Amino acid sequence: MIKMLKMELYEFRHDFICLFMIVIPLAYGMFSGSGYMEDNYFNLKQGGYEVLMAMLHDAPATCLLISAFPALLIGKSFSNRTIVPKITAGNSRSNVFFSKAISILSISAIATIVYSISGAAAVTLKYGWNAPAFGSIFTLIKIMICTILLYSVIFSIIIFWAVIFKDTIRTIIASVITIFINAIYIAYGRGWKMPISMHPMIVLRRILQSNSLVQFMGFSLYAAVLLSVILILSYTIFRRCELK
């Protein structure tokens, strides 16, 4: 598994898509960060901490912005047949699948967090952090752990579509449509009297508004279970599918 992860890291370092995944959110976050100061979601002092919380709160838009890139990354692994040589070289399907899944989820989570951090950094340089250092950092550590898990749940759907379609274009289309429908569902679901309280994006927003350690642990466990279910289902399909 470690060998496969090193191989994935090498491929990512030499793939312009990964560069775009980091540079685009970085630039866009720095440009748009100050705009989040207009709506104070959490009644915080004007500064970097307020903007970071607000940008993390805007998860649906962030996921929609990023989603095409990981779909392209994993989709082309099937279209270009780069997965097949790894298996024929003697690596187990489980090692190939989970190393690919870990790498895709990691780069996706990094890209989404870079978007939020770059915006907060730009605002901090101008207005300051404006939050107690120890308390805010401890809170952010909890939030980041839960956020990464919840983002991974959202982006794991892309892996599911990839093993279903085994094609770049269809994986991108299905992934973007799925995340877009989820964003619409979150925006209007409450008004339509539909259950949305345990949707990962809603859970993400709830954890941002809570400083409860118990709630943080509960939501993290919930995200870990959801992620495990989706990945196991995807792996089951991948293990049985025919790779051409």
**pLDDT above 90 as % of the chain:** 32
Over the stretch 19-53, which tens digit does the pLDDT of each residue have?
889 999 999 889 888 877 766 666 677 788 888 88
Residue 39 is predicted with a pLDDT of 65
Q: What does the alpha-carbon distance between residue 202 and residue 30 come to, in Å, rounded to a whole number? A: 25
Q: Which domain holds residue 115?
A: 2-240
Q: Is residue 129 scored above 70 in pLDDT?
A: yes
78 contacts 113 by C-beta, under 8 angstroms: no
**Tens digits of per-residue pLDDT, 156-186?**
999 999 999 999 999 999 998 998 888 888 8
Average pLDDT for residues 90-100, to the nearest whole number? 91
40 three-state secondary structure:
coil
Calculate ∠ Cα 76-78-80, nearest 5°: 60
Provide the token pair at 155.
């982006």
Q: What is the mean pLDDT of residues 66-91?
A: 87
pLDDT at 132 over 80: no
Q: Residue 102's pLDDT is what?
A: 94
Residue 113 near residue 66 (C-beta atoms within 8 A):
no
| Average confidence score pLDDT of the chain | 86
Separation between Cα atoms, residue 109 and residue 152, nearest integer Å: 7
Of 63, 88, 71, nearest to 167 by C-alpha is 71
Q: Which of 18-22, 57-61, 131-135, 206-210 has the highest mean pLDDT?
A: 18-22
Residue 244: the pLDDT is 63
Q: Please identify which residue in the block is written with the tokens 């309280």.
A: 197
pLDDT: is 90 or 171 the higher one? Answer: 171
Which residue in the block uniquely carries the two structure tokens 């300051």?
A: 128
Contact between 230 and 157 (Cβ < 8 Å):
yes
* Alpha-carbon gap, residue 166 to 76, rounded angstroms: 8
Cβ-based neighbour number of residue 25 at 10 Å: 24
Max Cα–Cα distance, the chain, nearest Å: 57
Number of domains comprising the chain: 1
Q: Is the pLDDT of residue 99 over 90?
A: yes
Q: Identify the band that residue 58 occupies on the pLDDT scale cut at 50, 70 and 90.
A: confident
CA distance 157 to 153: 7
Tell me how far apart the alpha carbons of residues 51 and 170 are, in angstroms, rounded to a whole number.
35
How far, in Å, CA of 125 to CA of 41, rounded?
21
pLDDT confidence of residue 161: 95
- For residue 45, the SS3 value is coil
- Which of the residue ranges 29-43, 53-67, 106-120 would you say has the lowest mean pLDDT? 29-43
Q: Is the pLDDT of residue 228 over 90?
A: yes
Which pLDDT score, from 0 to 100, does residue 42 have? Answer: 65
